[in-house]
């Protein structure tokens, strides 16, 4: 029996992770840039680890380098499931 992961579940994990990294919850929107949320490369590395643990999706450095917005992160993870 496989578990279906929805885009909403992925978005929830991404948003909660960004909050733990110090991003202001009021500013975390799908179109928000990671730069505007003050998310740095170390935060993205940690997000990659969380995504791997939660969903079994491995994100490489080149993948993470292409993430500019919250939506980019959600869509990339969704495409790998």
List residues with catalytic annotation.
40
Tokens for 11?
């978005």
Tokens for 31?
């179109």
CA distance 64 to 62: 6
HSE, side-chain direction, 13 A CA sphere, residue 73: 32
At which residue do the structure tokens 């992925």 appear? Answer: 10
């Amino acid at each position: 029996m496989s578990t279906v992961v929805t885009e909403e579940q992925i978005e929830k994990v991404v948003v909660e992770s960004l909050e733990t990294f110090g991003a202001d919850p009021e500013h975390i929107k799908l179109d928000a840039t990671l730069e505007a949320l003050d998310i740095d490369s170390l935060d993205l590395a940690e997000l990659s680890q969380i995504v791997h643990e939660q969903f079994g999706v491995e994100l490489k450095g080149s993948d993470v380098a292409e993430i500019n917005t919250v939506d980019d992160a959600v869509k990339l993870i969704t495409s790998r499931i």
